[in-house]
Amino acid sequence: MGIFSRLADIVNANLNSLLDRAEDPRKLIRLMIQEMEDTLVEVRASAVKTLAEKKELERRIAGAAKEREAWEARAELALAKGREDLAKAALVAKARYADAIADHEKQLTDIDTAVARTTEDITKLQAKLTEAKQREKVLVVRHEQAANRVRLREKLHDERIHDALARFEHVERQLDELEGRAEAISMGRGKTLADEFASLEADSRVEAEFAALKARVGARSGGSGA
């Protein structure tokens, strides 16, 4: 495949459709980037050669133009000296250079058209390359996130985790049974001597607080009545 046909294929390619069809989009976009970069190098090298040819043609045109003017001056000189034969010969030489100039100018026009087209294609390809590199960065992030999700789900479905959770549940059941036994042992038992005294002390505190509250309320009521 030639440089310019390959360039046209890349420039006209739809990156989204290519990535949608790819089994490994990350690998495909890396290959596309490499292809674009290689093509850019080749196209620019070809453009340099074309520009060199343009400069050579411009030099030839300038040289032929000088020769044409020189032969025109010789024809005038010969005619002034009465040498019509030399004047005609000089005009024939002038015509040859004029034809050469016309050919060179046509080639120059073709080269200018090719350079303009190549410049436009290079601009488009550079834009595609920039887009591809941006997509590559996005794909790298997405690939890493997907890989992390896969690893996490593999761990969640790991039998060792299920076994560990089952062991935790077994321990919890044993603790529930132990706590139930402790509660069952204390059920139906009467209060101890210490429990009785603690209850009396609590009752005394409540009675004292109640008496103080009653005194405060009575004092406020008496004061308001006065």
Domains of the chain: 3-135 (1.10.287)
d(CA 130, CA 119): 16
Within 13 A of 70's CA, how many CA atoms are on the CB side? Answer: 9
Q: One digit per residue, pLDDT tens: the chain, 226 residues?
A: 444 455 555 555 555 565 555 556 677 777 778 888 888 888 888 889 989 999 999 999 999 999 999 999 999 999 999 999 999 999 999 999 999 999 999 999 999 998 898 888 888 888 888 888 887 777 777 767 776 777 777 666 666 666 666 676 766 777 777 767 666 655 555 566 666 667 777 777 778 887 888 787 777 766 655 4
Distance CA 62, CA 213 (A): 122
Element at 58 (helix H, strand E): helix 25-80
Report in angstroms the alpha-carbon separations of 13 from 19, 22, 36, 37, 181: 11, 14, 11, 15, 76
Q: Under the phi-then-psi rule, with left for phi > 0, alpha for psi from -120 to 50, and beta for the rest, what region is 165?
A: alpha
Three-state DSSP string of 210-221: HHHHHHHHHHHH
Give the Cα separation of 86 and 82 in Å (integer): 9
